[in-house]
Amino acid sequence: MGGTPDTPRVPRSMEQDKPNNGYDRLDRLIGRHRGLIRRLCWRGAHGNEAQCDDLVQDCYVALWQRIGALRSNVSRLEEAAWVVWNCRDVLSHHKRRPAIETETLDPHLADTLVAPDDHPNAEFIEELATCLNDRERLALTLMLRDLTDLEIAEHLGMRVDSFQRMRLRMIAKMKNNNKI
């Protein structure tokens, strides 16, 4: 770590991460935590196999880019926590699936985007939806199709808990506008 005054000082943490050592460390790290990484990505992809594979690769790249920041003398628990932290960072920046495309919906639903004409409360539902934005109207439309929260969240490109919070906001919005 020393050297003459003219040579730059290299911290020990960087000395240990010369190219081959970085590859070896990453290989060992992934070998120990492959299952953990896969489970995190599976959850982040909401069970979509192709998206999960993409996320796993993105996590591997992020881990490779950041491997120099991981101290060499950490416990397995600290190492796992570092892997989780970095993978969650990747997952939080990963683009969610775009909102449902109208060609995947039947034409009748794409036109109304709320209650089908044959719904017994179609007029009331249309009135309720006037205070909602487009994404909320789409969510309401999907709820009327009796989809599960998971299916609706996937269509909207969001996590289930995010959709559930959105549903609560929609109800509050309709109450504030004296719709319900």
pLDDT in tens, 59-83: 999 999 999 888 888 888 899 999 9
144 within domain boundaries: yes
Percentage above 70 pLDDT, the chain = 71
pLDDT in tens, 104-138: 444 444 444 555 566 666 677 777 778 888 888 88
pLDDT (mean) for 24-40: 90
How many separate domains does the chain show? 2
User: How does residue 101 score in pLDDT terms, banded at 50, 70 and 90?
Assistant: very low
117 within domain boundaries: yes
Query: 62 and 23 in one domain?
Result: yes
129 within domain boundaries: yes
pTM: 0.44
> What is the structure's pLDDT at 63?
92
Neighbour count for residue 173 (Cβ, 10 Å) = 16
Query: 77 and 31 in one domain?
Result: yes
> What is the structure's pLDDT at 113?
53
Here the CATH number for the domain that contains residue 87 is 1.10.1740
Structural domain boundaries enclosing 156: 102-176
Alpha-carbon span 103 to 118, nearest angstrom: 21
Checking if the pLDDT of 179 tops 80, the result is no
71 CB contacts (<8 Å, ≥6 apart)?
13
56 within domain boundaries: yes
Query: 117 and 85 in one domain?
Result: no
Structure tokens at 89: 């960072």
Return mean pLDDT, the chain: 75
User: How does residue 43 score in pLDDT terms, banded at 50, 70 and 90?
Assistant: confident
> What is the structure's pLDDT at 22?
72
Query: 118 and 148 in one domain?
Result: yes
Query: 75 and 107 in one domain?
Result: no
Query: 63 and 22 in one domain?
Result: yes
